[in-house]
Structure 1
Amino acid sequence: MNAAPRLSIGLPVYNGEKYLAESLDALLGQSYGDYKLIISDNASTDGTEEICRQYLAKDSRLSYYRQPVNIGATPNHNWTFEHSSTELFKWASYDDLYGRDLLARCIEALDDDPHLVLAHAYQAIIDGAGDIVLEVDYPLDTTNPHAPDRFRSLLFDVGGDDFYGVMRSDILRRTPLNGSYHHSDRTIMAELALYGRFHQVPELLFFRRDHPDRAERAKPTIRSRSANMEPSRASRLRNPTVRLIGEYVGGFVGGIRRAPLSSADRRECYGHLTRWLASRAVRRSTGRIEDSKPDAAPTAIPDSSAVAGQRRVAEG
């Protein structure tokens, strides 16, 4: 392994003892090993620290940092990237699982096409036991060569987990990183898509774990999700809901403003954003406009040889 690895993996965690070891095993068992794993423990109160220190003693690729207080999920995510200095970067979750060749296939794709800004892979949803419950399609038009079309798809289409893809660090540094408002992962991905295309490796290599403790299920409202991202957001006085929604929309506006677009492409993106806002307003009567569900459930993708005959991802 090179003295200076090409890739950093940022793993923010808070009270992750239930699934953390399984996730670390999947990351450390990757066929591509030229990376460093940066773990930021957000002042966990369970056995997370002990698990991390056990792995730290076994593998020199790990570095472990413990925040003195809970700084919130957003600062903790951003902290891992801000303390990286590699060519490539990837966020990882303490509860997801990763096929053995995920990193290798993503990096191969980025090396083959310098115009790609992000590479990820087909995904499946797993349950708490690691069983595959759904193989999901990727509906986003992120391979489109026209930046406004990619942006439009990130606005109107729901799906994908590109936030956990392998990204070019120099492009990610041009963004403000994650905001402490709900759905900030959507705004940062929309902004990255304005810089270049994404690639989906056509192999089932990413396994998103769905369980009752996931923040998006345990924190169902705008305020509770935002407060999970940054504790100060819990204040209704300083952070009224209208402000949180405004920052969400502002994240898209800022992305358009910062991206290296022509005047015509910039106008086209603003047009898509205006139409998206109008479509959200129309759906106000059926629920929160910013939390509208996709019109259709995720569709299955064809069977993959990567999981054929397997019941549990952890056994692969």
Structure 2
Amino acid sequence: MDHQIPRQAPPLTGRAPVPVAVGLPVYNGEPYLASSLKSLLAQTGVDFELHIADNCSTDGTEELCRELARRDKRVVYHRRPRNVGVTANHNMLVNEVNSPYFTWAASDDAYAPDRLHKLYEALRYRYDAVLSFTSATQIDSSGKVIGGWDDVCNTDHIDPVLRLRDLIAKEHENYHCYGLFRREVLRKTQLLPPVKNNDRILVAELALHGPFVEVRERLLLHRLHERRLTQCTSQREWYRTQRTDGRKIVLPNVEEAGWYVRAVKRSPLSATDRGRAMLALYPWFRANAVPMARNVVKAAVDGARIAVAGKPRL
């Protein structure tokens, strides 16, 4: 595969922020990073900057990105002074850019050349909408097409509670998180919480702020492979490797429930609609009742062990 990244001068000059900022968080992005960057920098029809947030990679990621930033003024390279965890690395990017529109890109995915343009055009004049998204083609580690994704939720419905209910109750892949956001609305949310299913929580919260705009074209190439963090990491392992608060006792499902509840409480809905939104969370609570109960039991056992281990010997 040809990984040569095109040399292009920035199309926009002056001090005004470009309309779109693409945030690409990465940690040890090889072997897919070069092709991902190539597809992003080949985007046409919209002015954008690409902000790469390197979370202390130990492979060839830093060298590739620094060289790219030297060659292409649209590229801004951020090297974290320490590994801040995957969630914080994503969230920090939102406040490190100035553009009114923002999107996260994955270091193992790719875009059709007009994807960013079509996302921008779909959202810019829909003043009530908070994000735009496209359908997706699923590819494997070698780039072979293995499936596709189209939205099955009523994310453009006028009723925010119905939008939330669909996102909570319907079985679907959450590719809305790869859409283009109005950054001013994104900053009003909790951003990505420090739990494994944080992208679903964020998208559910955004649905309470406004409708989504769909571009039903498969312009995102989403790579499914065995090295994906969400694929190879359990909920508890996520806490152990990705969280930085040092907690010894964790309740993953219980904490996830709390973030959903806070999303509703923080929403711009009326008191009546907040009540309806709380009821709309019921399918999630029903599906997670047993895991939450197990969380509590395990936390009690772990707490007892820690307490016993901490007692001084007589």
- How do residues 206-245 of structure 1 correspond to structure 2 at under 5 angstroms? 206-219=220-233, 221-232=234-245, 235=247, 237=248, 239-240=249-250, 242=251, 244-245=252-253
CA distance in 1 between partners of 2:291 and 2:24 (Å): 36
- Taking only the aligned residue pairs, the percentage that are identical comes to 35
Partner of 1:314 in structure 2?
none
* Unpaired runs of at least 5, structure 1: 289-316
Maintained 8 Å contact 2:253/2:292: no
- How do residues 140-219 of structure 1 correspond to structure 2 at under 5 angstroms? 140-157=153-170, 158-219=172-233
Maintained 8 Å contact 2:168/2:283: no
TM-score normalized by structure 2?
0.85
Maintained 8 Å contact 2:118/2:215: yes
Report the Cα offset of residue 139 of structure 1: 1.5
CA distance in 1 between partners of 2:69 and 2:269 (Å): 44
Maintained 8 Å contact 1:140/1:159: no
Report the Cα offset of residue 67 of structure 1: 1.2
Q: Is 1:253 matched up with 2:261?
A: yes
| Corresponding residue SS for 2:77 | strand
| Corresponding residue SS for 2:23 | strand
| Corresponding residue SS for 2:25 | strand
* Partner residue of 1:69 out of 68, 82, 86: 82
Partner of 1:78 in structure 2?
91
Maintained 8 Å contact 1:75/1:229: no
Report the Cα offset of residue 275 of structure 1: 4.1
Maintained 8 Å contact 1:72/1:227: no
Equivalent position amino acid for 1:195 in 2: H
* Partner residue of 1:115 out of 128, 134, 141: 128
Report the Cα offset of residue 227 of structure 1: 3.5
Report the Cα offset of residue 15 of structure 1: 0.3
TM-score normalized by structure 1?
0.84
Maintained 8 Å contact 1:118/1:198: yes
Partner of 2:108 in structure 1?
95
- Pair 76,282 (structure 1): closer, same or farther in 2 beyond 3 Å: closer
Equivalent position amino acid for 1:209 in 2: R
Q: Is 1:12 matched up with 2:9?
A: no
CA distance in 2 between partners of 1:92 and 1:32 (Å): 18
CA distance in 2 between partners of 1:283 and 1:248 (Å): 11
Equivalent position amino acid for 1:187 in 2: I
* Unpaired runs of at least 5, structure 2: 1-10, 296-314
Maintained 8 Å contact 1:139/1:159: no
Q: Which has more radius of gyration?
A: 2
